Chains A and B, each alone.
Chain A
Amino acid sequence: MASDAVTIPSSTRLPQEAEGTWLETLHGWVTTVDHKRLGLMYIGLALVFLLIGGVEATIMRIQLAVPHAHFVSPQVFNRMFTMHGTTMIFFVAMPILFGFANYLVPLMIGARDMAFPRLNAWSFWMAAFGGLLLYFSFIGGDGLYGAGSAPDVGWWAYAPLTSPAFSKGHSTDYWTIALLVSGFGSIGTAINILTTTLSMRCRGMTLGKMPLFAWLNLVMSGMVLIVISPLTAAQIMLMIDRYLGGHFFDTQAGGSATIWMHFFWIFGHPEVYVLVIPAFAFVSEIVPVFSRKAIFGYPVMVAATVGIGFISMSVWAHHMFTIGMTSYGNAFFVATTMAISVPTGIKIFNWLGTMWGGKIRYATPMVFCLGFLFQFLIAGLTGIMLAAAPWDWQLSGSYFVVAHFHYVIVGGILFALFGAFYYWYPKMTGRMLDEVLGKWHFWLFLIGFHLTFDFMHIPGILGMPRRIYTYEPGRGWEGWNMIVTIGVIFQAAAVLLFVANLVRSYFKGAPAGNDPWDAWTLEWSTSSPPPAYNFAVPPEVKSRRPLWDLKHPEDPDWKYE
């Protein structure tokens, strides 16, 4: 019966070559073109930068915990918020999501590797070298022979702050070339994911039978191709301004500082969706498995994702309401920003619909997804508030905005990402992550997150500007800032616990087996970790849940799809 439905010969790991010296091991990783190894390298790179970015955030919060603090100098504070933002977006969020996509997309679609394995390796190394260049600025920011200093212009790097008059030395240039180099890598990865999902699916896997994870990463990759280009163009224009006498962003010489803002946010806002769509992908895989139900409204989920992809390209200037656009401009960007909440809302309802009536298992991956659902909803609501131009005029540049986007990035994306770690770590390593430590991680992080980012909204409403170095007492900000900083302690403890769990479980975790979650997509049909070739014989599927078909031959999905 089962063979009528699917053909998935399971792969057995053959005895590997004898362990080599550490140099041979290093050589193996440097020269690898295997999508799984590259995925793990992306994830490892991002985790290193996550810790660095976390330290930078902690330094900022210590500085702001009390009024008139001088934990760091104003110059160092400026570098911290610039490096924190740049690191977290470009060298944590993007690589880690690319890492999961790299590892999982070929497995989920029954392919042996990505379409362009060498391009895949090149893309990873470009991202890694981009990150190294950014942090080399601490040494070489003033030139090799001067004292170093990191970029301090904020992660938006608005003109004219980036002009030679206000940004001497090379710190801004390191920021520019780091993003240029990593941007090329991102484009390479996007091309690879697009090509792989469109042309390397196994037999029977039509687009309508592709796992949502692959669908959402396909949309994300298309968006990356579109949105990285204006950022790259702007970086090159900035280099021309700084070194070749150009005046693209020099208002006094006939250029326009506003043009930089447009270029940056044409990239910047879709980038939020570039990051959150893979998080949606994690949730779309985890929630059904732990609810024991197929995803609710698969076609609508795909359509909503594509809709988000399109609409997100037309919302960027809601970051610029305060520059004085025309009423028509304001009205347009208010409308498009409001409109994007519709497909996003559809997704929320569909995840709830998936859980409704299901037999929910509250394992660690699922509880992180539940946290994601609640927090992403709140983030969306404050997003709608900021989408209203008059509201934005009041709160733009305040800590309310900082709280809002951290709700998206941390409360939404990072929670989903943690869920993904707990869900796919067994597949990647062959070992289960410890559930008890996982629950501790969840609760500590949840408490820390809400202490920090719930209460961060309030000083914002009370007028506290973002990027402020310190503040006077008596403005009603100090108590809230202290609570926000205390929350960071909980978050830091949770992340350290998570890292400890990763390391401990790698050596001592319970063996995972091929399919520890009783799941339904193809990656769970192969061994954990999978062999280099993924599948000994390319699989053939007939439905969106091939392993369900195999496990329930009396009631396969393909009879109804």
Chain B
Amino acid sequence: MSTSEPKPESEQSGQPAIDLGTSGTSAATGSVPPVSVKLPAPTAWPFVLAFGLSLIFAGLLTSAAVSTLGVFLATAGAVGWACQVLPFERQETTQAKAEAAPVFTSRPEIARIQTLPEMQRAWLPIEIYPVSAGVKGGLAGSVAMAVLAVVYGLISQGSIWYPINLLASIVYAQPFQLSTRHLDSFHPELLLVATAIHLMTSVLVGLLYGVLLPMVPRRPILLGGLVAPVMWSGLLHSTLGIINPLLNQRIDWMWFVASQIGFGVVAGLVVAHQERVRTRQHMPLAALAGIEAPGIVLEKGSKGEDL
């Protein structure tokens, strides 16, 4: 987005440009006669009260005499302050003179932000999947991944609980305090944690697929089902040793990649089969961002549609 070169006022609005600086013409209001203004009267009592309170505290560290003086001053300050505002606030009257001081602008010209018809820009997809598509894809992918993980558990450890307990270890450190035999057994709290992690992550990744797939018009399943899982696995493989070395030791990366691909393919297929909806991408960024300015939104009371 860019601004156009400032044009003379008359060219933009059809009205004569105003000369604010040179001719002395200004957009100020008319003069106002002198008025009496009432302001709060100055007073030392807040100072006295603050000083007294400070002395009360200081006396705790120095001498009772200091605190005693503080109590006296604080009491005087509080009473004096109260007398300032009760029964009526004490005020002083000042004469205020208001006059029509000129209000100038050194830049009377207004440049407009160009809107879409005059610009070349990349178009994002004009149709995308609804949020529900991502949720459905994520949940379907989560089932596929869970099946593969359970198969892995049965084959490698003879237990379906092993991968579940491992997954829980992302936020729950207890599995590493257990032996492999314990990791193979059922722990209800780990099942709850693992289920929550699995569902939450799957739905979030499903939503990501819903957003990303429309941007890949060619072979979205290849990207979502193969390329993205392999890249994600590679990233994790290279960093997990630093982030969580204990978990890293227990991961079978072949099965990890297989389960990621399983998730990706199923989630991608489900998302890709959902019905697409039109976006508001045809609207200018300024309108999407809620900028209220001429040329983007219409004036109140005028007829017609906003851009």
Contacts and interface: CB of A to CB of B under 8 A. Distances in A.
Interface of A: 1-3, 6-12, 14, 28, 30-34, 112-113, 117-119, 121-122, 125-126, 128-130, 132-133, 136, 140, 143-144, 170, 173-174, 177, 180-181, 184-185, 239, 243, 292, 294, 296-297, 299-300, 327-328, 331, 353, 356-359, 390, 514-515, 518, 525, 527, 531-533, 535-537, 547, 550-555, 557, 559-561
A144 B62 contact: yes
Interface string B40-51: 111111110111
B85 interface: yes
Contact of B99 (A12, A359, A535): A12
Interface string B158-180: 00000000000001110000000
Contacts of B58: 133, 136, 177
A28 B46 CA distance: 14
B37 A536 contact: yes
Given A112-B39, A185-B50, 20 more contacts: A2-B28, A28-B42, A32-B42, A33-B43, A112-B37, A118-B43, A125-B46, A292-B107, A299-B290, A327-B172, A357-B2, A518-B107, A525-B103, A533-B94, A535-B98, A547-B103, A550-B103, A552-B108, A559-B294, A560-B297
Contact of A2 (B3, B29, B244, B297): B29
B299 interface: yes
A1 B27 contact: yes
Contacts of B54: 126, 129-130, 132-133, 181
Contacts of A12: 97-99, 101
A559 B299 contact: yes
A544 to B, nearest CB: 10
13 contacts: A2-B28, A3-B30, A6-B29, A9-B32, A14-B95, A118-B84, A122-B50, A122-B81, A132-B54, A537-B35, A555-B110, A557-B292, A560-B294
Contact of B32 (A34, A327, A537): A537
Nearest to B63: A144
A531 B96 contact: yes
B53 interface: yes
A300 B288 CA distance: 12
Q: Which 7 A-B pairs have the closest CB atoms?
A: A536-B98, A10-B101, A125-B50, A122-B46, A129-B54, A551-B105, A536-B96
Contacts of B72: none
Interface size class of B (residues with CB under 8 A): 35 or more
Nearest to A170: B61
A550 B2 contact: no
Nearest to B13: A554
Contacts of A299: 290
Interface string B97-123: 111110111111011010000000000
Nearest to B243: A390
Contact of B49 (A28, A122, A180, A239): A122
B60 interface: yes
A125 B51 contact: yes
A113 B41 CA distance: 12
A14 B172 contact: no
A71 B29 CA distance: 64
A225 to B, nearest CB: 19
B235 interface: no
Nearest to A13: B97
A364 to B, nearest CB: 17
A118 B78 CA distance: 11
Contact of A331 (B46, B94, B171, B297): B171
Contact of A177 (B31, B60, B103): B60
Given A550-B27, A551-B104, A560-B297, A118 B81 contact: yes
A557 B110 CA distance: 13
Interface string B278-307: 000000000001111110010110000000
A312 B34 CA distance: 48
A118 B101 contact: no
B171 to A, nearest CB: 5
